[in-house]
Amino acid sequence: MGTFCSVIKFENLQELKRLCHWGPIIALGVVAICSTMAMIDSVLWYWPLHTTGGSVNFIMLINWTVMIVYNYFNAMFAGPGFVPRGWKPENPQDSMYLQYCKVCQAYKAPRSHHCRKCNRCIMKMDHHCPWINNCCGHQNHASFTLFLLLAPLGCIHAAFIFVMTMYTQLYNRLSFGWNTVKIDMSAARRDPLPIVPFGLAAFAATLFALGLALGTTIAVGMLFVIQIKIILRNKTSIESWIEEKAKDRIQYYQLDEVFVFPYDLGSKWKNFKQVFTWSGVPEGDGLEWPIREGCHPYSLTREQLKQKADKRVRSVRYKVIEDYSGACCPLNRGIKTFFTSPCTEEPRIRLQKGELILATRGLRYWLYGDKILDDPFVEGTSRIRGWFPRNCVEKCPCDGESDPAPESEKKNR
């Protein structure tokens, strides 16, 4: 309740502009369509006032909707938490381990990163999510993950209602001939007549809502699995990438050192409690973090500085071997590439055979980098930046750089 009150304060009303974006419009539209059609169809299939089961079914539908919308708005309006402008560590000597943000005029606190969309340094930044038009970070990570859990559960319930409604409403309308099967959609053949008539339009709307519910269950469910995995390791998506690049750097230079992620407390339950608490407020202030025994407080930030100074880690040159149209989810690049398309507002770049790409980071089936438009050896040339499928490029044989994919993903190929 305290979080809800903070959302409706006058000074936070300007945050309502976040709703004026394609992400929230689509997300809330899907919630509205599935919830409305599920409630209408539940009246047709299982009238809530006749039986206890019907009442429970209808109350559960309302409950799903309320919890989904609450956690969605909480993730959007409560925000991830920003590093205070002008922030610097209490011990001036610690600033040597931290990066300085010229935009925010402050040092980047441990686990924080600057978001170009929000134009602020975000505490424990995971990613910028277009669906909530905000970053996922320290303060709203729990609400965001709960939304990813509740949305598929609510859609599964709604999908079951859609299927049962179509079955019960069409059962008495089917007429079988010798070579044909006819459906009479002109009138309901049941006594008494339903409160909401189930005609052709209602059937089409229910079928459309069923498709939305099933698609949301699959897509959002996959995102929930990804989030819960990194929460149990007390990591973020960005930190997972930094850790894998650290292992890659050590392996490439054959260094006699081992990188240990400092924020994994060694217990999944302890890591879980860093995000989810009974009060709804995550542990810590977002600036200082408990670390694993034997680790340096700035192990991760020192590794970031090493990677920033290492040009080999920063970019790898690839050559395009197959054309790519720039589609968000390309079916012609394979099923795995289609379903693992990065959930980000960052663009995809169109590629043509023979072009050169400088990849700076990557996933198992996708890479992110710059397309070189002019001479790659002349400074100041223009580039187009974005995501592209891994299977349409190959590493230039002249380069000795390592693959920017995480080491764990290389082994699974």
**pLDDT tens digits, residue range 349-408?**
999 998 888 887 777 788 888 887 755 444 444 568 889 999 999 987 655 444 554 444
Across the chain, which distance is largest between two alpha carbons, in Å? 88
What is the band of 29 on the pLDDT scale with cuts at 50, 70, 90?
very high
CATH class of 315-374+383-395: mainly beta
Out of 49-58, 66-75, 232-241, 358-367, pick the least confident: 358-367
**DSSP H helical ranges for 180-257:** 200-232, 237-253
pLDDT score at 381: 47
Burial of 75 (0-12, 13-18, 19+ CB in 10 A): buried
Candidates 331, 334, 399, 389; CA nearest to 365 is 389
Candidates 153, 124, 154, 118; CA nearest to 141 is 124
Phi, psi (5° rounding) for residue 322? -145, 145
How many C-alpha atoms does 204 have within 13 Å on its Cβ side?
Answer: 4
DSSP 8-class letter at 353: T
Quick check: 224 pLDDT over 80? yes
pLDDT score at 171: 73
Quick check: 159 pLDDT over 80? yes
Catalytic residue among 34, 101, 115, 129: 129
What is the band of 8 on the pLDDT scale with cuts at 50, 70, 90?
very low
How many C-alpha atoms does 6 have within 13 Å on its Cβ side?
Answer: 11
| Separation CA 226–CA 263 (nearest Å) | 18
pLDDT score at 189: 47
Q: How far is CA 67 from the centre of its chain?
A: 19
What is the band of 11 on the pLDDT scale with cuts at 50, 70, 90?
very low
The helix/strand/coil state of 176 is strand
pLDDT score at 170: 77
Numbered ranges of CATH 2.30.30.40 in the chain: 315-374+383-395
Structure tokens at 227: 């989030």
Helix axes of 200-232 and 141-171: crossing angle, nearest 10 degrees:
150
- Residue 41: partners with Cβ closer than 8 Å, 6 or more residues away: 161, 162, 165, 206
Q: Are 89 and 164 in contact (CB under 8 A)?
A: no
- The per-residue pLDDT of the chain, averaged, comes to 83
Burial of 173 (0-12, 13-18, 19+ CB in 10 A): middle
Candidates 103, 123, 104, 100; CA nearest to 113 is 123
The 10 Å CB-count burial string (b at 16+, else e) for 278-287 is eeeebeeebb
| Separation CA 160–CA 206 (nearest Å) | 11
Q: What is the mean pLDDT of residues 205-230?
A: 94
Q: Quick check: is 129 catalytic?
A: yes
pLDDT score at 197: 67
Give the predicted TM-score (pTM) of the model. 0.79
Pairing between β-strand 383-389 and β-strand 366-372 as defined by DSSP bridges: antiparallel
Cα distance between the two ends of the chain: 47
Q: Are 235 and 261 in contact (CB under 8 A)?
A: yes
